[in-house]
Amino acid sequence: MLKVNGEQRKFKDGQNIADLIKECGYDKDFIVVEVNLEIIPKGKYRERPLNDGDEVEILRFMGGG
């Protein structure tokens, strides 16, 4: 199990950050991903596997005024 934005979530063996982003419906150009308190560079999303017990935070940029 992963913890994604504070909620428990099942994941598939071999799943990486890019897979998770797609599955959750996020646009990678407008987010920052943190895994276990480490910010992951966008270029590493496909290389960074997810592991049982990982805590993932996906932060979206929001405009406002």
- pLDDT averaged over consecutive 10-residue blocks of the chain (65 residues)? 95 92 92 97 96 96 73
CA gap 21, 65 in Å, rounded: 27
Query: What is the reported pLDDT for 65?
Result: 63
pTM listed for this prediction: 0.88
Query: What is the reported pLDDT for 62?
Result: 77
Q: Is 36 left (phi over 0), alpha (psi -120 to 50) or beta?
A: left
- Domains of the chain with CATH codes: 2-60 (3.10.20.30)
Residue 8 and residue 17 in contact, taking contact as beta carbons nearer than 8 Å: no
